[in-house]
């Protein structure tokens, strides 16, 4: 069946991580069939720009119409040409940095378009996060696209995200993502990103499917025909219409309609 839109998370939805990343040949083939049948396939990820590009290249995965990253704050075509880049005033960063420091965050990663910067808030930086800049140095930039901050457990990140939503929802949208919290601009999340893709291609809601495995996928799973990955938590399952093990399952379902 043609004229459908499938918006999918990437990590642990298409690309699975155990010791190394891998994508099933069956899923690659299903995505190709889906697009060749006249449908649109879009990646919606919480990853930063360079992280997304690196993993797409490493996994040799470019079979998409476009990708939206930072949980919907940034979008580009596979050739990396920009579609949009939502921004937040950098002057909002200091009170957020203070909050993260007070709540024991391990790190703060600041995404500014294609670039990412680690900001020194006195946390326990993970090894790959090197050469942090100061908050004062960050203030030399006028705007930023997104924040990612890490804690020590999923329970901790979820609790902190709730408090962030109470205090800073006018600035950012806090979205738990395992032990981290993704923070695109206020009013932006993956469901809003899917809505943008739907309007871009003129596809009505009843022909839109979404797939994901984590807390930052919940809004888009609830808003459309949501397919929760079996490897995700129960809260994600409960937000979706159905539970799947592989993306090929929902593609085969759509193509059979």
Pair 40, 161 in one domain:
no
Segment 9-25 shows an average pLDDT of 89
Range of the domain at 206: 5-85+188-256
The SS3 assignment for 9 reads: coil
d(CA 226, CA 217): 9
Pair 218, 200 in one domain:
yes
Residue 17 is predicted with a pLDDT of 87
> Per the structure block, which two tokens stand in for 1?
């069946």
Domain boundary among 153, 183, 213: 183
Domain boundary among 118, 148, 183: 183
Pair 168, 50 in one domain:
no
Task: Label the pairing between strands 66-69 and 40-44.
Answer: parallel
Pair 178, 118 in one domain:
yes
- For residue 3, the tally of other CB atoms under 10 A from its CB is 13
In our burial notation (b when 16+ CB lie closer than 10 A, e otherwise), range 240-252 reads beeebebbbbbbe
The SS3 assignment for 16 reads: strand
Q: What is the pTM of this model?
A: 0.94
Pair 170, 93 in one domain:
yes
Q: Place 2 in a pLDDT band, splitting at 50, 70 and 90.
A: confident
For the stretch 140-176, pLDDT in tens is 999 999 999 999 999 999 999 999 999 999 999 999 9
For the stretch 55-93, pLDDT in tens is 999 999 999 999 999 999 999 999 999 999 999 999 999
Residue 156 is predicted with a pLDDT of 96
Pair 122, 147 in one domain:
yes
Tell me the Ramachandran region of residue 3: left when phi exceeds 0, alpha when psi lies from -120 to 50, beta otherwise: left
Based on the structure, what is the number of domains in the chain?
A: 2
CA-based nearest residue to 69, from 93, 52, 57, 54: 52
Domain boundary among 183, 204, 226: 183
For the stretch 85-140, pLDDT in tens is 999 999 999 999 999 999 999 999 999 999 999 998 887 665 556 678 999 999 99
């Amino acid at each position: 069946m043609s004229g459908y839109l499938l918006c999918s998370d990437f990590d642990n939805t298409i690309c699975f991580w155990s010791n190394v990343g891998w994508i099933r040949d069956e899923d690659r083939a299903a995505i190709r069939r889906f697009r060749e049948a006249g449908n649109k396939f879009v990646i919606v990820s919480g990853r930063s720009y360079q992280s997304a590009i690196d993993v797409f290249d490493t996994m040799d995965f470019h079979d998409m119409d476009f990708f939206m990253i930072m949980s919907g704050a940034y979008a580009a075509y596979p050739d990396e040409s920009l579609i949009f880049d939502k921004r937040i005033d950098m002057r909002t960063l200091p009170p957020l940095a203070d909050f993260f420091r007070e709540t024991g965050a391990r790190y703060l990663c600041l995404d500014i378009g294609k670039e990412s910067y680690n900001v020194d808030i006195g946390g326990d930086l993970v090894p790959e996060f090197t050469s942090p800049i100061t908050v004062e140095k960050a203030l030399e930039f006028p705007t930023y696209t997104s924040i990612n901050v890490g804690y020590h457990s999923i329970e901790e990140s979820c609790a902190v995200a709730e408090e962030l939503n109470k205090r800073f929802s006018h600035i950012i949208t806090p979205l738990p993502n395992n032990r981290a919290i993704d923070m695109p601009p206020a009013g932006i999340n993956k469901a809003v990103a899917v809505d943008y893709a739907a309007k871009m291609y003129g596809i009505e809601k009843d022909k839109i499917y979404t797939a994901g495995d984590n807390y930052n996928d919940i809004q888009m799973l609830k808003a459309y025909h949501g397919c929760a990955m079996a490897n995700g938590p129960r809260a994600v399952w409960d937000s979706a219409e159905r539970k799947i093990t592989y993306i090929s399952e929902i593609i085969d379902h759509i193509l059979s309609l």
